[in-house]
Structure 1
Amino acid sequence: MKLLALAVTAVLTMAPANPVEPVEVTVPGPAGPLAGTLIDPGGKAPAILILPGSGPTDRDGNNPLGVAAAPYRLLADALAERGIATLRADKRGMFASKAAIPDANAVKIADYAADAHAWVDMLRQRSGRACVWLLGHSEGGLVALKAAQRPEGICGVILVSAPGRPLATVMREQLRANPANAPLLDAAMAALDALEAGRRVDTATLPPLAGLFAAPVQGFLIDVFAQHPAELAASLHVPVLMVHGDRDIQVSLADAQALAAAARGSTLKILPGVNHVLKSVASDDRAANIATYGNPSLPLAPGVADAIAGFVSARR
Structure 2
Amino acid sequence: MKKIVLFLLISVSGFGQNPAFKTEETAVNSLLTGTLYTPEKAKKPALLILLSGSGPTDRDGNQPSAKTNCLKLLAESVATAGTAVYSFDKRIVAEIKSGKIDEAKMSFENYINDAKDVIAFFKASKKYSKIIVGGHSEGSLVGMVAANGNADAFISLAGAGRSIDKVITEQVIKQNPEIKDTLESFFVKLKQGKTFKLEDQMYASLFRESVQPYMISWIKYDPSVEIKKLKIPTLIVNGTTDIQVPVLDAEILKQAKPDAKLAIIENMNHIFKIITGDRTENLASYNKPELPISSELSTVVNQFIKTL
| TM-score (normalised: structure 1) | 0.84
Give per-residue Cα distances to partners, 1:231-267, cap 9 Å, x unaligned. 1111111111001001111111111111111124111
The whole-number CA distance in structure 1 between the counterparts of 2:96 and 2:200 is 31
The whole-number CA distance in structure 1 between the counterparts of 2:34 and 2:116 is 14
Q: Which residue number in structure 1 is paired with residue 26 of structure 2?
A: 25
Q: Displacement, 1:99? A: 6.1
Cα-Cα RMSD? 2.3
The whole-number CA distance in structure 1 between the counterparts of 2:127 and 2:103 is 32
The whole-number CA distance in structure 2 between the counterparts of 1:278 and 1:235 is 27
Matched, 1:306 2:299: yes
Describe how 1:208-223 pairs up with structure 2 within 5 A: 208-223=202-217
Describe how 1:69-84 pairs up with structure 2 within 5 A: 69-84=68-83
- Give the secondary structure class of the aligned counterpart of 1:303: helix
Describe how 1:10-21 pairs up with structure 2 within 5 A: 18-21=19-22
Q: 1:101 to 1:111 in 2, by over 3 A?
A: farther
Q: Which amino acid aligns with 1:114?
A: N
The whole-number CA distance in structure 2 between the counterparts of 1:201 and 1:296 is 39
Describe how 1:60-75 pairs up with structure 2 within 5 A: 60-64=60-64, 66-75=65-74
Q: 1:103 to 1:165 in 2, by over 3 A?
A: same
Q: Which residue number in structure 2 is paired with residue 8 of structure 1?
A: none
Describe how 1:104-253 pairs up with structure 2 within 5 A: 106-126=105-125, 128-149=127-148, 151-152=149-150, 154-177=151-174, 179=175, 181-182=176-177, 184-203=179-198, 205-253=199-247
Describe how 1:49-68 pairs up with structure 2 within 5 A: 49-64=49-64, 66-68=65-67
Q: Which amino acid aligns with 1:302?
A: S
The whole-number CA distance in structure 1 between the counterparts of 2:99 and 2:223 is 27
Identical positions, percent: 30
Check conservation: 2:173, 2:179, Cα contact below 8 A.
Answer: no
The whole-number CA distance in structure 1 between the counterparts of 2:152 and 2:163 is 25
Check conservation: 2:103, 2:210, Cα contact below 8 A.
Answer: no
| Unmatched segments (≥5 aa) in structure 1 | 1-16
How many residues are treated as equivalent by the alignment?
290
Q: Displacement, 1:68? A: 0.8
Q: Which residue number in structure 2 is paired with residue 12 of structure 1?
A: none
Q: Which amino acid aligns with 1:164?
A: G
The whole-number CA distance in structure 1 between the counterparts of 2:101 and 2:284 is 34
- Give the secondary structure class of the aligned counterpart of 1:39: strand
Give per-residue Cα distances to partners, 1:170-214, cap 9 Å, x unaligned. 11111123x3x35655544433333233222323x2322212222
Which structure would you say has the larger RCO, counting Cα contacts within 8 Å and 6 or more residues apart? 1
Q: Displacement, 1:97? A: 8.6
Q: Which residue number in structure 2 is paired with residue 37 of structure 1?
A: 35
Q: Displacement, 1:100? A: 12
Q: Which residue number in structure 1 is paired with residue 251 of structure 2?
A: 257
Q: Which amino acid aligns with 1:252?
A: P
Give per-residue Cα distances to partners, 1:148-184, cap 9 Å, x unaligned. 23x23x111100000111111011111123x3x3565
- Give the secondary structure class of the aligned counterpart of 1:135: strand
The whole-number CA distance in structure 2 between the counterparts of 1:192 and 1:279 is 32
Q: Which amino acid aligns with 1:239?
A: P
Q: Which amino acid aligns with 2:190?
A: L
Check conservation: 1:234, 1:264, Cα contact below 8 A.
Answer: no
| TM-score (normalised: structure 2) | 0.86
| Runs of 4+ with deviation above 6 angstroms | none
Q: Which residue number in structure 1 is paired with residue 46 of structure 2?
A: 46
The whole-number CA distance in structure 2 between the counterparts of 1:134 and 1:126 is 16
67-76 vs 211-220, which deviates more? 211-220
Q: Displacement, 1:103? A: 3.1
Check conservation: 2:268, 2:275, Cα contact below 8 A.
Answer: yes
